[in-house]
Amino acid sequence: MTGESEAGAPPALDKIEAPEAGASAAREPLRVALFSGNYNYVMDGPVRVLNRLVAFLLAKGHSALVFSPTTKKPVIKHAGDLVSIPSVPLPGSRSEYRLGLGLTGAALRRLEAFEPNLIHIAAPDITGFMALKYAEKNDIPVVASFHTRFDTYPRYYGARWLEKYITGYMRNFYGRCLQVYAPSQSMIEELKRDGIGEDIRLWTRGVDGDLFNPKRRDLEWRRAQGFADDDIVILFVGRVVLEKGIDVFAEAVNSASRRNPKIRALVVGEGPERGRFERVLPTGVFLGYQEGEALARAYASADVFFNPSVTETFGIVTLEAMASGLPSVCASASGSRSLVVEGENGLLLPVEAGAQDYAEKLEILAASAEMRRRFGLAARSMTRDLNWDAIFDGLIRNYRDAILQKKN
């Protein structure tokens, strides 16, 4: 991409290529040790991206070894070799996720035998910290990718006082990495503002435009879900957890539908708060977890994508909705600000906006088929150049640049 697209794409997404400084690095095959808090046992955005990355590395002739907690019932067939890290369920309502207990024993021996020439950490947890220490001790270049504003989570679980301590830890952790990869320019700006990381680089996200496509709209399928042809279907896609803004989504849709009964909700996703979501959104249609063509059909068969989450670092679901030709209503948080152009492909609200503010925007879009059409066309156009291969090639150039930095 060069310059601003006809759809008014934010300049941030024009920077999918890595700096050329790494082009002169040695051309030996990469041996990447990847550390993540989740790689195959709960489906979320980071899991999808990291599995794509490992598959790409292997296809290009590089080696990758993944370290992550595991469970007896993974939700996907993972890419590459996976080393199980001892772990325990996270306490409280997020027990579906697991906390790795560190890099010791058999896992440490696998790492030593693998002899990585780069360590990539995708979560600043106990295991990630031990991987950082291992890299420092053994003079191995270490990079990190930023997927989640973990320090914002306590506010959703009655522990806002913890935020400043977690942010302080993150400053220390990411400040010790040679490079930090953020998924959007707005996230880069946020990390710089908060002093998290030194050399922060853009590692954006791609989308499969053949899969996520307006042509997959299916009126018969809509009818089978109980929607009338003239209903305005408001779509939620994601993990059903509090930090995704499910309470705001429900209150906004309920309020808007009281004034316009044609406004209906469609929820795609699974999670520990599904029961709560169903109770506060009793007229919603809940599909549970969907993937592949079923997910693409759900996107294209909706009318408006609504994402009130303020914790997104990118919002790959927003990108998939845009590729599917949907206008979006989103919080102006770090991820969405780099995807949604106010008044061109969707509507943005301040992060402090309430449910009634969102309800008003939903009503505006529901009342104008022409606005939905125009926004949807612009959204689809903006996503066309976000090619996964180009994005991963850029990341590999960054990897080689990190190796060169370490050698020098």
* Orientation of helix 355-367 relative to helix 369-382, angle to 10°: 100
Pairing of strands 63-68, 142-145: unpaired
pLDDT, residue 386, reads: 87
pLDDT, residue 161, reads: 62
Q: How many residues in the chain?
A: 408
How distant, in Å, are the alpha carbons of 10, 169, 308, 382, 394 from that of 345? 11, 37, 16, 9, 27
In the chain, where the domains are located: 11-206+387-407, 214-382
How distant, in Å, are the alpha carbons of 235, 263, 319, 345, 376 from that of 328? 9, 15, 10, 7, 8
DSSP state of 312: B
When computed from its CA atoms, the radius of gyration of the chain, rounded to whole angstroms, is: 21
pLDDT, residue 51, reads: 97
Whose CA is closest to 339, among 190, 150, 205?
Answer: 205
Most confident of 73-82, 149-158, 160-169: 73-82
Which residue carries 């999918």 as its tokens?
Answer: 16
The C-alpha atoms of residue 406 and residue 408 are separated, in whole angstroms, by: 5
What pTM did the predictor assign? 0.77
pLDDT tens-place string over residues 89-141: 987 656 788 999 999 999 999 999 999 999 999 999 999 999 999 999 999 99
Instruction: Tell me the fold of 214-382.
Output: Rossmann fold (3.40.50)
pLDDT tens-place string over residues 45-63: 899 999 999 999 999 999 9
Instruction: Tell me the fold of 11-206+387-407.
Output: Rossmann fold (3.40.50)
Region 11-26: mean pLDDT is 45
The full DSSP string for 105-171 is HHHHHHHHHH--SEEEES--SHHHHHHHHHHHHTT--EEEE--B-GGGGGGGGT-GGGHHHHHHHHH
Work out the mean pLDDT of the chain and round it to a whole number.
Answer: 89
Which residue carries 């295991």 as its tokens?
Answer: 127
* Orientation of helix 388-407 relative to helix 45-59, angle to 10°: 80
Judged by DSSP in three states, 96 sits in coil
In Å, the largest CA–CA distance within the chain is: 65
Percentage of the chain with pLDDT > 90? 74
pLDDT, residue 2, reads: 35
Q: Which residue type is seen at 383?
A: T
pLDDT tens-place string over residues 209-239: 999 999 999 999 999 999 999 999 999 999 8
pLDDT, residue 163, reads: 74
Yes or no: say if 262 and 366 are a contact pair by the CB < 8 Å rule: yes
pLDDT, residue 11, reads: 39
Same-fold call for 11-206+387-407 versus 214-382: yes
